[in-house]
Structure 1
Amino acid sequence: MEYREKKTEGNLTVMMEFILLGFSDLPDHQVFLFGIFLFIYISILLGNGLVIVITKIEPILQTPMYFFLRNLSFVEICYTSVILPRILVNLWTQKRNLSLLACAAQLCFFLILAVTESYLLTLMAYDRYMAICKPLYYPVIMNPKFCFQMVIVCWTSGIPIIIGQTYQVFSLPFCYSNKVNHIFCEIPPLMKLTCGDISGDEYFIYADCVLFVLIPLLLIIFSYTRILTIILKFPSSTGRSKAFSTCSSHLMVVILFYGSASIAYLKTKSNNRTDKIFSLIYTVVTPMFNPLTYSLRNKEFITAMKKIFSKCVISRSK
């Protein structure tokens, strides 16, 4: 594949195009991988779309928890749509070249949406904390206006920093190669292609990881530590079981998302294959299993889903 670059003064080069290697090391499995990722993408769209529709139209689900879940499902549809269609095109056409502008746009939108998800997961933990630890104050504090404002903050607060971070990454000199050994444009594999002293840039990246990953994770851990303390004091085993069931779904998503993202961005040693695996976990696997995690473990959601489906069946039979 052609390696395009633009010569500049001082004998440096500016990358005009990148090549996403993706799964090129598995040439005999391209069609199989295409089928797998197509199935995953359709599952994500249908599963999260179903969550959005049911939590929107069912009156019993008009609570802050399901409002946040609806936004989380929409975020996951968006940021998998930033990644998976490109993977599918690469697998189907075997054309892996990507312009610098397209790569920068993919990175920027992916990071903005990932930060939104991180903050939404934190907000959902706070919602559970208020519901279990401060039940008398819950209706007052978690009112519709506050919930809407917090969701807007989740969607917008990371945008200026992420745009600056994206500009910073793509203003670095790419000297070694234009081949990105990854499944999409992400900061760690792009940084491998840079040359010169980039220690200062790496400090900014670590600072962003602290702001967008570590601090939200610590807030979630604090919330659930308090929740666990309160739950263990419940006199009724039924009450404890119900509280654990309500929180366990969210905890499973938190562990998958933050665990894989932290390993991908904060580990010191890099391995191309494991990097791809961990990236797939928090960009593809988590959004695919989230609807199952939240719906199959939630009696209210299952009841609402059965009610809607029964209405659909009755209306068709008439």
Structure 2
Amino acid sequence: MIPGEFTYHRPASVAEAVAILVSHGDEARPLSGGHSLIPMMKLRMAAPEHLVDLAGIAELKGVSEDGGTITIGAMTTQAELIGSDLLGAKLPIIRETALMIADPQIRYVGTLGGNVANGDPGNDMPALMQCLNASYVLTGPDGDREVAARDFYEAAYFTALAPEEILTSVKIPGLADGHGYAYEKLKRKVGDYATAAAAVVLTMSGGTVGMCSVALTNVSDTPLLAAEAGEILTGSTLDADTVKRAVAAAEAITDPASDGRGPAEYRTKMAGLMVQRALARAAERARG
């Protein structure tokens, strides 16, 4: 289908973009990469009267580090995440995850901000940002505020982002050198949303897990931080019994829909399997 009529805006600054959103209220929507919003507009599931394209705002791009915190501009594309030497050295799981998103054509246009901001439960980066304990900088008429990724998602397509705000950057605390990481994703074909996926980040010392974070993609209305699973694994040697209990804890918080990717029971079990695989790869990397 063809989207309904709208007025197109291309602001040159965040302040200008926010002013447009304030002026038009619920009738305006920001446009990042557009891979979620444009299809929804074609299906008439979204019908903004004003589209605010953020692509012309240079300050929303780039990756930097300050005091151990990595900051990524919201309009940084997936391809730019993949090519970032800083992320490759400090947070390689971001590159690993970005390489599993859709296909190269999409990744050259799709942005991190667009992926995390719209609340689509099938997107890969939201769960990863929860796993990494990231925070989102939201900019509105009253300035900036930070919201933890773990508190941002309320329901499918509903988030803590106010109508007059823009998600301008993502901040991620640095991880210890030598940490282990993995993003495991089961999907039907290249470019598809996950049937189930899991992100794992951990540290190990002397064969014992010092810290472990686990998050799940597309097995509920929101991304899921499997906090209990991480707590079970912390302090363990990743023995089979402990891993089994952690996997069960992760499966217990899922609530997937039965759809073309499989019945709910199958998708829950695949989430557990993705956790198990991600744990194995992360531990292997942490051990060197």
Q: TM-score, normalised by structure 2?
A: 0.24
The structure in which a higher percent of residues are strand is 2
The structure number with the bigger radius of gyration is 1
Q: TM-score, normalised by structure 1?
A: 0.22
Higher-RCO chain (CA-CA 8 Å, sequence separation at least 6): 1
